[in-house]
Amino acid sequence: MIKLTRMNGGVLMMNENFIACAEETPDTVVTLQNGHKYFVAESVNEIYEKIMAFEKEKKTL
């Protein structure tokens, strides 16, 4: 799971395997496979980096 920040400052733990897409509109919107949408403070590039770091960490465990 990756940790993201809601627009109100709250923390959101998200399972990266369920992310269908992330787009900047200009706010970043993460859409899950079930259609739920979350507005987060991180950019698309930051989300990508978090996912890549998490996947790399999983491989070392």
Output the 3-class SS for the chain: CEEEEECCCCEEEECHHHEEEEEECCCEEEEECCCCEEEECCCHHHHHHHHHHHHHHHHHC
Separation between Cα atoms, residue 44 and residue 24, nearest integer Å: 7
Give residue-wise pLDDT tens across range 3-54. 999 999 999 999 999 999 999 999 999 999 999 999 999 999 999 999 999 9
Strand-strand pairing, 37-40 and 28-32: antiparallel
Q: Does the pLDDT value for residue 60 go beyond 90?
A: no
Separation between Cα atoms, residue 44 and residue 21, nearest integer Å: 9
Separation between Cα atoms, residue 4 and residue 19, nearest integer Å: 13
